[in-house]
Amino acid sequence: MDLTLNDIEWEILNALYFVEPFQHVLDEVKQPAPIVADCLKQLIHKKYVVALAWSDEKQDYVKTFMYDSDNMHIYHYLATKDGLMAHNSK
């Protein structure tokens, strides 16, 4: 498994030890939203991050298998175990 991360990916993972909204990631990373969104999409593709949506039924955030990549701001995010391992290996 390739654990290499660029600086922005590392900063994103650093912000996602807990479930956080997109705006929190933007506030922490301090990069333009399109750049953060693109890096976040790559981290999701690598399975380092999961997108979560609020479930009224469960009263909790649940993993979404499909997400609208044009509307990253409507989701919350969380680093996965693999993502945390990659983050801590740098």
Domain limits of the chain? 7-88
pTM of the predicted model as reported, rounded to 2 decimal places: 0.89
Instruction: Return the CATH number of the domain spanning residue range 7-88.
Output: 1.10.10.10
CA atoms within 13 A on the CB side of 79: 19
Q: Of 18, 6, 86, 88, whose CA–CA distance to 48 is shortest?
A: 86
Sign of the CA dihedral 13, 76, 28, 68? positive
pLDDT band at 81 (very low <50, low <70, confident <90, very high): very high
Predicted confidence at residue 1, as pLDDT, reads 52
Summarised one tens digit per residue, pLDDT across range 29-80 is 999 999 999 999 999 999 999 999 999 999 999 998 788 888 999 999 999 9
